[in-house]
């Protein structure tokens, strides 16, 4: 147990402005609280002193908004509180509107070795429609600068499934990004209108924001084949990478390995417990060690989670690993689902692994629900 390697997620809840689709915990109006928030994060970190860590992920919000002083303090605390493995993957999410060459060079010097860049689209009209603050040119320029500053592991996010978004424009975004020869990874997210977002409100008022289901499915298939042509293979429902460049941090979630979440609304999972903090910035900063909700996972919870997360992966999960973790067999624990989904070809059982068939990937949610 002492040799356990953790992933650490740090939530940075500041943004320039709220994008119209965003339901992440971020507060554009509270950027003046950055210094106090960083102090709270460092205070929370101390309770995990000495834990071995091989991935660190700064997400948000917009971590690339943090000033150099805050980033320096955070990284100094990370290296004094954690035992960070050589070659650890250290990722930061970047909004192209918030960095220049000097900032990127500074981040590289700090030890950040992977960037996840929120590009979303290379069409100005689509970026405007989504409420993004940067232009396609700025996104491309940030990718090029990052590469020239020594980031060889770069990811970009793309959004698809917006009403009016054409397949031509999706292909334009994919080919424009891939032909930069800089990206090792792309994440593709279907636009969803969540309650409490600008889009959620507009959809309620009758506006069509999302493309219809069939169009969205077609766009997903188009993305899969276009990305494969550029050497980016799907390894998880929404994630594509060049060989050897899957997100090691996110793989911890999909493999149900332990992780520590620091900051407002951040989730942690370890030793059969899952817990998270309040989303309120003031409450979190008032007591950064206080856990808002804690759940002890039953054997059944852990099994279902292992299956649901594992089946998101292209290669699925190993039946031996299932047996090692739980002392029972997957097929015996989930007999009716296994039989039904194998029979209709949605679930594959090959080379000691269970995985979803390619045709099941887009409708995976409805299948995965059956394992809960």
Judged by the rule CB under 6 A, the positions of this chain that interact with ligand SF4 are 15, 18-19, 22, 24, 26, 60-62, 95, 118
Nearer to ligand SF4 by Cβ, of 2 and 32: the residue is: 32
At residue 142, φ and ψ (nearest 5 deg) are: -65, -40
- The least CB distance from residue 190 to ligand SF4, in Å, is 14
Please state the closest distance from residue 97 (CB atom) to ligand SF4, in A.
Answer: 8
Q: How far apart are CA 15 and CA 2, in angstroms?
A: 37
Identify which of residues 19 and 216 has a Cβ nearer to ligand SF4 in the complex. 19
* Residue nearest ligand SF4, Cβ-based: 22
Q: Which is nearer to ligand SF4, 62 or 246 (CB)?
A: 62
CA distance 268 to 131: 31
Residues facing residue 233 across a β-bridge: 241
Which one, 61 or 136, has the nearer CB to ligand SF4?
Answer: 61
Minimum distance of ligand SF4 from residue 143's CB (angstroms): 17
13 vs 288, beta carbon nearer ligand SF4: 13
Q: How far is the CB of 126 from ligand SF4 (least distance, A)?
A: 14
Nearer Cβ to ligand SF4, position 13 or 310? Answer: 13
For 154, residues 6+ apart whose C-beta sits below 8 A from its C-beta are 114, 115, 117, 143, 146, 147, 182, 183, 184, 185
Please, what is the minimum distance in Å from the beta carbon of residue 7 to ligand SF4?
A: 20
Residues 6+ apart with CB under 8 A from 198: 18, 20, 21, 131
CB of residue 321 to ligand SF4, shortest distance in Å? 34
Strand partners, 260: 8
**Could you report how far apart the first and last alpha carbons of the chain are, in Å?**
28
Q: Tokens 């960037």 appear where?
A: 115
Angle between helices 167-178 and 136-148 (to 10 degrees): 20
């Amino acid at each position: 147990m002492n040799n356990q390697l953790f992933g650490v997620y740090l939530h940075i809840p500041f943004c320039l402005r709220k994008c119209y689709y965003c339901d992440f915990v971020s507060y554009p109006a509270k950027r003046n609280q950055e210094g106090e928030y960083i102090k709270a994060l460092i205070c929370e970190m101390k309770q995990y002193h000495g834990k071995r860590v091989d991935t660190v992920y700064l997400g948000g919000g917009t971590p690339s908004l943090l000033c150099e002083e805050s980033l320096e303090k955070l990284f100094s605390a990370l290296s004094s509180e954690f035992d960070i493995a050589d070659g650890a993957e250290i990722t930061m999410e970047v909004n192209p509107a918030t960095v220049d060459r000097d900032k990127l060079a500074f981040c590289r010097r700090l030890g950040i070795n992977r960037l996840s860049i929120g590009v979303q689209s290379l069409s100005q009209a689509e970026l405007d429609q989504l409420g993004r603050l940067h232009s396609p040119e700025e996104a491309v320029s940030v990718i090029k600068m990052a590469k020239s500053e020594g980031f060889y592991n770069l990811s970009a996010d793309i959004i698809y499934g917006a009403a009016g978004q054409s397949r031509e424009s999706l292909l334009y975004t994919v080919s424009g990004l891939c032909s930069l020869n800089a990206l090792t990874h792309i994440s593709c997210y279907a636009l969803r209108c969540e309650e409490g977002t600008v889009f959620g409100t507009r959809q309620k008022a009758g506006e069509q924001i999302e493309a219809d289901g069939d169009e969205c499915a077609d766009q997903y298939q188009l993305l899969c084949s276009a990305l494969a042509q550029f050497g980016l293979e799907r390894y998880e429902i929404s994630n594509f990478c060049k060989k050897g460049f899957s997100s090691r941090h996110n793989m911890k979630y999909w493999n149900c390995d332990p992780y520590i979440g620091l900051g407002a609304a951040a989730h942690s999972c370890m030793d059969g417990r899952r817990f998270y903090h309040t989303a309120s910035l003031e409450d979190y900063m008032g007591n950064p060690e206080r856990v808002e909700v804690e759940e002890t996972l039953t054997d059944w919870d852990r099994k279902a989670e292992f299956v649901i997360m594992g089946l998101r992966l292209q290669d699925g999960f190993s039946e031996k690993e299932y047996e090692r973790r739980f002392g029972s067999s997957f097929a015996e624990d989930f007999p009716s689902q296994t039989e039904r989904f194998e029979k209709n070809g949605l679930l594959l059982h090959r080379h000691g692994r269970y995985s979803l068939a390619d045709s099941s990937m887009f409708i995976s949610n409805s299948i995965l629900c059956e394992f809960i």
